[in-house]
Amino acid sequence: MMGLSFHLCFLVLCGSLIIPTKCLAQTCLPEDHVALFIFGDSLFDAGNNNYINTTTDFQANVWPYGETFFKYPTGRPSDGRLIPDFIAEYAKLPLTPPYLHPAGYHRYTDGANFASSGAGALVETHPGFVIDLNTQLKYFKNVETMLKRKVGETQAKKLLSRAVYLINIGGNDYLAPFTTNSSVLRSYSPQEYVDMVIGNLTTVIKEIHKKGGRKFGFLSVAPLGFFPYTKALIAPGNSFKEGKMACCGTGPYRGIPSCGGKRSVKEYELCGNASEYLFFDSIHPSEKTNEQLAKLLWNGNLDVTWPYNLKALIEHK
């Protein structure tokens, strides 16, 4: 995939026995219905950061974001759709809007997207500017309450047990010590730091499990040194192949995060065809890359997904 290798890992846990119960026609869900709940960072953020008090560093609500598919910026940090958008399509679900969308979208029987650009498993990662993973968990618990009110407790439990929970988190936790002045993040040994990140993620997974979650999909942390952003910071003198340069940005590899002129650097360059690029901006994949990754997530073999792909989790009763 154009020089970038991801290892994608999935976990499925045995579900509880579902005993058929009667329900009102207006609250019954189709027997094959599976919801998609999305947690994570900018790789999955459908626009939640549009609706929080944050800096433009963690937003993608300006042109040319969204230019390829939506034709306007939706808050997704790409030229078009993200991985969860493609997964929803493959699962025959509507695109999942951001949880914080103010339009009053409450069709949570299809799932919800809680992801936030810049977020980490640690509260200390970009505090005050993002929706950290613990807060995303609180939002999920709010959705659980709303589902019980809408479809009843029995149907809500069934929905949550059959849902797929797609999670991508950790990259910002590991980048933050090198890109911020936080002394807190630098006060731990590397092993202590990794243990904290994994520990926080584990706690959230256990909480979702308590609420009925049994089918989880995880993306492993990408090779952070391949991002145009990190290459621009570390080795600004080199030149590489087109696949290692961003479509939108400025500076070496277009790795300075200025796409859309929304950051401290207002000038930026934009390529003519984003689909020819691995990265759309300094750190985020293009829609074409997201589509390729989504296909691997959906029906990849054991070389790229383990022990199940998302199609198997969706179809698992």
Q: What are phi and psi of 63, to 5 degrees?
A: -65, 140
41 is catalytic: no
284 is catalytic: yes
Report the run of H or E that residue 168 belongs to, with start and end.
strand 164-168
Q: Catalytic pick from 42, 78, 117, 258?
A: 42
Instruction: Please give the Cα distance from 99 to 85 (Å, whole number).
Output: 14
- 167 beta partners: 39, 218
Instruction: Please give the Cα distance from 162 to 142 (Å, whole number).
Output: 18
116 is catalytic: no
Q: Catalytic pick from 41, 79, 258, 284?
A: 284
Question: What are the percentages of helix, strand and coil residues in the chain, rounded to 5?
Answer: 35, 10, 50
Burial of 78 (0-12, 13-18, 19+ CB in 10 A): buried
User: How many helices (DSSP H) and strands (DSSP E) are in the chain?
Assistant: 8, 8
Instruction: Please give the Cα distance from 68 to 245 (Å, whole number).
Output: 18
Q: Catalytic pick from 173, 281, 282, 286?
A: 281
On whether the CB atoms of residues 309 and 10 are closer than 8 A, the answer is yes
- Locate 170 and state its tokens: 């950790």
Q: Is cis: bond before 94, omega within 30 of 0?
A: no
On whether the CB atoms of residues 62 and 260 are closer than 8 A, the answer is yes
Longest dimension (CA), the chain: 68
Instruction: Please give the Cα distance from 264 to 258 (Å, whole number).
Output: 7
Active site residues: 42, 281, 284
